[in-house]
Amino acid sequence: MQGVFDNIKWWFLALRPKQWIKNLLVFAFIFFYRDITNFYDLRKVFWAFISLIILSSSVYLINDVVDYKRDKIHPVKKNRPIASDKISRKEAVIGSVIFFLLGLILAVSIGEYLLFIYVFYYFLVLFYSLYLKNVLIIDSLTNAVGFVLRVIAGGVVIGAPINSWFIIFIICASLFISFGKRRAEITMLSFKRASEHRSVLRDYPKEFLDSLISMTGAATFFAYILFSYTIDIGNSTPILVSSVLPAHVKNPHWFKITIPLGFYILARYLYDIYVKKEGDAPETVWFEDRYILYSTILYFIVSTFVIYII
C-alpha cells in the first residue's frame, strides 16, 4: 500500500502543481470585467482552468523527458520524479498522451473556440520544450505568448471584452519574469554549469540580461499604469459604497490606487533576483517570499473592493 501512495505522490509532483498558479490567469477577465459572482460564467471559467491544468501538465511531462539529462546536473531539478528515475521516461510519455486527450475532451465540451486556443497553446509549448527554449530571445517571447493565450482563453469563455493594455502588461510582465529567471539561473549555477543545463544561457551574458530586465521591468510598470486608467469597471455591479459616494468620485479610475502595490511586487521580485540570489523558479518565489505573497493577497483585496464595492 505504501508503494501505491508513493507512486501517486511522484506522479502528482511530476505534474508540477506549483506551476498551476500560472493558469489562474484564465480568471483575469471574469475578475476585472465581469461579475465574478455570476455562477454560470464562473463555472465555465473554472472548467477552462481545469482543462488548462491537464494540458499544461501533459507538456510538463514531455519537457522533463526531453530535459532528463540536463535536469540531472541541476541542484534542484535533479530531484524531480523523472530526473530521479522515480517515474520512467516511457511512463511519462504515456501519461502525457493520456492527459493531452483528457484536456482536449474537456475543452471541447466548454466551447470550440476554447479548443482552438488550447490546441495552439499545447503545440506552441510543446515546440518550445523541443526547440524554441534554446533560441535566444524567442524562448522568452514564446513564454509571453503562452501567458497571453491563458488570459484570452478566460475571456473567450465568457465573451468578455479584451483590454489591449492588459494584454501588453501581461506580455511585458512575462518577459520580465522570464529574463529574471534566466539571470537567477546563471547566478545560482555559475555561467558554465548554467549553459550546460540550458544551452541558450551561454548567449545571455549577465550585462545583456540586466539590460533586458531593466527594459521589461519599466515597460511592465508603465503598461500596468495605463491599464489601471483604461480598465472599464462600470460593467460590474457595485453592492455597497456607490449609494453613498458623491457623484464626482464614482469613476473607473479608482483602480489606480493599486499602482503602488504593483510597483512594490515588481521591485520585491527584483530584490529576490539580485540580492537574495533567487528567482530561478518564480512560482516558488511567490510562496516563499512572504512580502510578495502578502502584497499579492492585499492587491486582490483592494482590487475586489474597488471593482465590486465602490
CB contact set of 169 (below 8 Å; sequence gap of 6+) = 220, 223, 224, 226, 227
Q: Is 80 exposed, middle or buried (0-12, 13-18, 19+ CB in 10 A)?
A: buried
Three-state SS string over 97-115 comes to HHHHHHHHHHHHHHCHHHH
For residue 197, what pLDDT is reported? 55
Instruction: Determine contact, residues 209/8, Cβ cutoff 8 Å.
Output: no
pTM of the predicted model as reported, rounded to 2 decimal places: 0.82
Most confident of 108-112, 225-229, 244-248, 277-281: 225-229
% of the chain surpassing 90 pLDDT: 27
- Which ranges of the chain does DSSP label H, i.e. alpha helix? 2-14, 28-32, 39-66, 68-71, 89-110, 112-130, 138-158, 164-189, 191-197, 206-230, 259-274, 282-288, 290-304
Q: What is the mean pLDDT of residues 127-146?
A: 86
Mean pLDDT of the region 225-230: 89
Q: Residue 189's pLDDT is what?
A: 62
Cell of 5: 501512495
User: In degrees rounded to 5, what are phi and psi of residue 83?
Assistant: -65, -30
User: What confidence category does residue 236 fall into, taking pLDDT thresholds of 50, 70 and 90?
Assistant: very low
Q: Is the pLDDT of residue 38 over 60?
A: yes
Torsion of CA 20, 21, 26, 27, to 10 degrees: 140
pLDDT of residue 267: 93
Per-chain mean pLDDT for the chain: 82
Spatial contact of 228 and 259, defined as CB atoms under 8 Å apart = yes
Structure confidence at residue 243 (pLDDT): 58
If 0-12 CB within 10 Å is exposed, 13-18 middle and 19+ buried, where does residue 60 land? buried
pLDDT in tens, 150-170: 999 988 888 877 788 999 999
Residue 46 has pLDDT above 90, yes or no: yes
Contacts of 27 (CB under 8 A, 6+ apart): 36, 45, 49, 154
Q: Give me the mean pLDDT over the 76-82 stretch.
A: 79
**Which pLDDT score, from 0 to 100, does residue 134 have?**
83
Q: Rounded to whole angstroms, what are the CA distances from 51 to 36, 104, 105, 225?
A: 19, 7, 9, 32
Residue 237: its pLDDT value, please? 47
- pLDDT value at 235 more than 50: no
pLDDT at 190: 59
Give the closest residue to 46 by CA, choosing from 65, 61, 27: 27
pLDDT single digits (tens) 195-224: 455 667 777 788 888 899 999 999 999 999
The confidence score (pLDDT) of residue 285 equals: 79
| DSSP 8-state secondary structure symbol assigned to residue 84 | T
- 237-255 pLDDT, tens digit per residue, is 445 555 565 655 555 567 8
Winning range, highest mean pLDDT, from 86-90, 178-182, 228-232, 294-298: 294-298
Most confident of 68-77, 83-92, 110-119, 221-230: 221-230
pLDDT digits (tens, 9 = 90+) for 255-292: 888 999 999 999 999 898 888 777 667 777 777 888 99
